[in-house]
Amino acid sequence: MTTTEDKLFDIENFNVNTLDDEIRVDELCKKFLRLFYRDLVESRNLEPEDAAALTYGADYFLRDFIIADRRENIFRIDPRRLRQFGGNWYIVKNVEPNMEELNRQLDGTVLFYHFCAAHGKCRPALAEEIEQTCRDRNFYQQRIDSFWEIENNYPDWNRACALD
């Protein structure tokens, strides 16, 4: 990362307090994700299609959930946000929630936060905590399965992995 990029992607530039902040941070996030994609292709030697799928997965978590829905700084999240995302928000926001798609989102997010840690944008411990949270794929599968089984107890399902 160049000095100019490092200044552009200063952690404080990703604070979201107003609608204008949200728009600005969304644009910054897109630019930062392009660096992430390039790193996946050039440093990790992933095929462009695989790198794009992982980048899109991280993009969905970051831009749609963390920035637009939670209005939080992407570099200062609580790792439990991943459980809330994959165990609730993703499920109710998608017509056909499924583990194949969610796996790409979780995998891309894990790699993204390791990329951030490598560039001093978040604590390495945060990247590790996010990875640990994402590993529990049985939890996410169970949440999707139990969602499809809901007949009239949505509030109970929602409380089991609330967004608050």
Q: How far is CA 153 from the centre of its chain?
A: 28
Model confidence pLDDT, tens digit, residues 121-138: 999 999 999 999 999 999
Range of the domain at 102: 3-160
pLDDT value at residue 143? 97
pTM of the model: 0.92
Q: In a 3-state reduction of DSSP, which class is residue 153? A: coil
Pick the closest to residue 63 from 91, 34, 23 (CA basis): 23
Cα distance between residue 57 and residue 110, in whole Å: 10
Distance between the two ends of the chain, CA-based, in angstroms? 35
pLDDT digits (tens, 9 = 90+) for 48-102: 999 999 999 999 999 999 999 999 999 999 999 999 999 999 999 999 999 999 9
Task: Work out the mean pLDDT of the chain and round it to a whole number.
Answer: 93
Report the number of distinct structural domains present in the chain: 1
